[in-house]
């Protein structure tokens, strides 16, 4: 089985920066009903990205896409465990 990180690793500096922001904001999740994950607090994520000096336009494009992947993966994992 192929390592998920290697299969989905960032391919650009901006992608690596978006990944860094996601890791740093791991506790900034918005929870939905029944304990599911609704999303990432993008305000907090953009604040973190700005504080780190990351390109705002790149983060505006990448973080929402990363949020979708994160939410899908976490909710799929939750469904597997139920």
User: How confident is the model over 16-69, as pLDDT tens digits?
Assistant: 999 999 999 988 888 887 777 888 899 999 999 999 999 999 999 999 998 998
Q: What predicted TM-score, i.e. pTM, was given to this entire model? A: 0.78
Q: Using CA of residue 77, residue 80, residue 81, residue 82, what is the dihedral sign? A: positive
Helices within 8-55 (DSSP H only): 13-24, 42-51
Report yes or no on 62 lying in a domain.
yes
In a domain, 4, yes or no: no
Q: How many separate domains does the chain show? A: 1
Token code pair at residue 81: 């465990």
6 in a domain, yes or no? no
Residue 75's domain spans which residues?
A: 12-81
């Amino acid at each position: 089985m192929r390592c998920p990180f290697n299969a989905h690793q960032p391919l650009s500096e901006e992608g690596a920066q978006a990944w860094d922001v996601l890791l740093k904001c791991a506790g900034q999740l918005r929870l939905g009903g029944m304990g599911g994950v609704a999303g990432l607090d993008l305000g907090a994520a953009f604040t973190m990205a700005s504080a780190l000096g990351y390109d705002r336009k790149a983060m505006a494009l990448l973080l929402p896409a990363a949020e979708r992947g994160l939410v899908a993966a976490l909710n799929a994992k939750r469904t597997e465990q139920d």
